[in-house]
Amino acid sequence: MVHSLELVFDPDTESAICRIWDQLASAGIPSQASASRPHVTLAVAEHIGAEVDQLLGPVSQRLLLDATISVSVLFGRAHVVFARLVVPTSDLLALHAEVHRLCF
């Protein structure tokens, strides 16, 4: 089973994104919104061990991060995914690098 490490948004940002998802659903665009939560994926692997929880504890102290949500993208072939890009800040890039250093 594939594992991932993800960041989630503050409640106001999450609500705004979910409103967009609702508008897309109202327009008849299929969605995984009922099974998903708005997020930023930091890492994906076949397996991420439970021991990383302790390693990532200090890293979590660097959250909350500012984020700018940017353009829309589609990726995939048979099952297309609609996403919005997040403009990477130096803080987000540093966090991403630290997560990969600790976990992989």
pLDDT tens readout for residues 55-79? 999 999 989 999 999 998 988 888 8
Which spans in 45-89 are helix H?
Answer: 52-60
| Residue 68 pLDDT | 93
Per-residue pLDDT of the chain (104 residues; tens, 9 = 90+): 899 999 999 999 999 999 988 998 899 887 778 888 999 999 999 999 888 989 999 999 989 999 999 998 988 888 878 889 999 999 999 999 999 999 88
Phi, psi angle pair for 89, to nearest 5°:
-90, 170
H or E stretch including 93?
helix 90-103
| Residue 104 pLDDT | 83
Residues 6+ apart with CB under 8 A from 5: 41, 42, 43, 48, 52, 56, 99, 103
Burial class (CB in 10 A: 0-12, 13-18, 19+), 17: middle
Count Cβ atoms below 10 Å from residue 5 Cβ, excluding itself: 19
| Residue 37 pLDDT | 93
| Residue 92 pLDDT | 95
